[in-house]
Homo-oligomer: A and B are copies of this chain.
Amino acid sequence: MAKDLTIEVAMSPDLYKYHSNDEAVVVVVDVLRATSAICAAFANGAKELIPVSSVEEAREYKDRGYMLAAEREGIILPFADFGNSPYNFTPERVAGSTIAYSTTNGTKAINMASNAYKVFVGSFLNLTAVAKAVRLQQRNLIILCSGWKGKFNIEDTLFAGALTELLVNSGFVMNDDSAKAAHDLWNLAKNNLIEYSQKVAQRSRLAKLGLDDVFDFCFTPDSTDVVPELCGKMLLQYKSN
């Protein structure tokens, strides 16, 4: 009988070093809002997306003529074309385009995982599609939660639990306490996800900025089957064959 593959959850980018494994698949998540926006961009026809870690690099991409989506702490950077609401990535804007994208937490986490065998971008928008892509690799899985400036957050952990739930009964086992805790939190929340997620700190941060209109959108599973994948410095749409 084949040995079960393992699922681990890094609850913050600061903890990724304890899970990191060049041979594993990494799914990076930042529900509010970077990876939800990236999934929306590809669902709306973006050709490629460059995740950019620093503000300085973001400015360089803009200076070199790239379309730039960029924010820090929810607020659009003054030299960017637009911020990181998933609603910004409309088909009119993004279809066929290359976009440089820089956010407070999510794009840094994506770049941090570049050592891995494969890096997928996950969100509730593409939950089932990501699970399918992960299963096809037949590799151990690390779910990397982007958190909030290094701190744990609930929404990314819930996604980790949801993805774990889709995999535990098909050849994967939970390999650490963080996967088990994420799975338990997901089971506590899943039947009432929107209500449960009212408690997340990021909701009140976004509400203060008038940016919480994306909340229901970001917590609705499976609106798309695109799976963005990191290839070199680019995110492209993953193709299974």
Contacts of A153 in B (CB 8 A): 177
Total copies of this chain within the assembly: 2
- The range of chain A's interface size is 20 to 34
Q: How far is the CB of A26 from chain B (nearest CB, A)?
A: 16
Q: How far is the CB of A78 from chain B (nearest CB, A)?
A: 27
Expressed in whole angstroms, the Cα–Cα distance for A18 and B151 within the complex equals 7
Expressed in whole angstroms, the Cα–Cα distance for A151 and B14 within the complex equals 10
- Contacts A176-B201, A188-B188 hold; do A15 and B151 have CB atoms under 8 A apart? yes
Partner of A11, one of B19, B149, B152, B188: B152
Contacts of A178 in B (CB 8 A): 151-152
Contacts of A177 in B (CB 8 A): 148, 151-154, 157, 199-201
Contacts of A180 in B (CB 8 A): 154, 199
Q: Tell me the nearest residue of chain B to A155, going by C-beta.
A: B177
Partner of A150, one of B15, B151, B199: B15
Q: How far is the CB of A149 from chain B (nearest CB, A)?
A: 7
Contacts of A234 in B (CB 8 A): none
Q: Tell me the nearest residue of chain B to A14, going by C-beta.
A: B14
Chain A 169-191 residues near chain B, CB threshold 8 A: 176-178, 180-181, 184-185, 188
Partner of A184, one of B12, B151, B152, B185: B185
Expressed in whole angstroms, the Cα–Cα distance for A200 and B175 within the complex equals 10
Q: How far is the CB of A105 from chain B (nearest CB, A)?
A: 12
- 10 A-B pairs (CB sep. < 8 Å): A11-B12, A12-B15, A15-B151, A151-B177, A152-B176, A152-B181, A153-B177, A154-B180, A157-B181, A176-B201
